Amino acid sequence: MPEANKIAIQDFSFYYDSCRALWNVNLCIRSKEIFTVFGPARSGKTTLLKSLNRLTDLIFGANHTGTVHLDETDIYGPNVDLTRLRRRIGMVFDLPTPLPMSIFDNITYGPRLSLTNRKSRLHEIVEKALRSAVLWEEVKDRLNTSALRLSGGQQQRLCIARVLALEPEVLLLDEPCSGLDPISTASIEETLFELKKTYTIILVPHNIQQASRVADRAGFFLNGELVEEGPAYQVFTKPRDKRTEDYVTGRFG
């Protein structure tokens, strides 16, 4: 395996109580690529993403077997600092989730938890994060208004900016465009290309078109199993597995 692997998932299975959500997943995510995880509903995509920064810990009765390594660290190892792990692996959810506070406070929420409280530093962080998420120009004059007043697309870019403010190494994006119109979707996709230069991105795409537009590599999930993975163009145009082909060509899903 090449050294450029950012995340290595080995023999990973995940259960909610006795209900199996992921089964024996082996997958490596390379540094600074956009890897898309796609498949029908309930195929384990969200569970996979949430288990990578251990948000699944919040759910009672969740357990797993197998290992996940981020660089050299076993993220389920006994000495893992959860707070630090979640700062290294940021997540954006499928629906915009602005907190009920100002735009400024939303972006600085993460940094204030542990990094800094210095006003000047926070201002730098906010501007940089909003610029990276291509939202700065739209909101720079009203950073103190409530984030709930932004439009859906702006809210979602705010959520991306909020994660970027922590300068994570990996971004988990769970259908970040699901509630958005085509124009907002386009601007978020543009943002993704920009972000790819610095971040490793794992994306659950909104649909296959989106996946084929932005992805470097892709993995197809079905009923918690990784059916097939490979370069995006190959998976989408010449899938090796019959089930992937059926899904990609729209025969089910």
Summarize as ranges the residues that interact with another protein (CB under 8 A). Answer: 53, 55, 58, 60, 83-84, 86-87, 90-91, 93, 95, 97, 99-101, 109-110, 113-114, 146, 148-149, 159, 162-163, 166
Q: CB of residue 230 vs another protein: minimum separation in angstroms? A: 29
Q: Three-state DSSP class for 108?
A: helix
Q: What is the nearest approach in angstroms of another protein to the Cβ of residue 58?
A: 6
3-class SS letters over 127-180: HHHHHHCCCHHHHCCCCCCEHHHCCHHHHHHHHHHHHHCCCCCEEEEECCCCCC
Nearest approach in angstroms of CB 110 to another protein is: 4
Judged by beta carbon, residue 62 or residue 91, the one nearer another protein is: 91
Indicate the angle between helix axes 119-132 and 182-196, nearest 10 degrees: 110
- In the complex with another protein, which residue's Cβ is closer, 44 or 168? 168
Q: Which amino acid is at 181?
A: D
- Helix then strand count (H, E) for the chain reads 10, 10
Identity of the residue, 22 or 107, whose beta carbon is nearer to another protein in the bound complex: 107
How far is residue 188's CA from residue 179's CA, in Å, rounded to a whole number?
12
Say how far apart CA 153 and CA 173 lie, in whole Å: 14
Q: Which DSSP state fits 240?
A: S
Tell me the closest approach of the beta carbon of residue 215 to another protein, in angstroms: 23
Shortest Cβ 57–another protein spacing (Å): 8
Between 60 and 252, CB nearer to another protein: 60
**Closer CB to another protein, residue 97 or residue 234?**
97
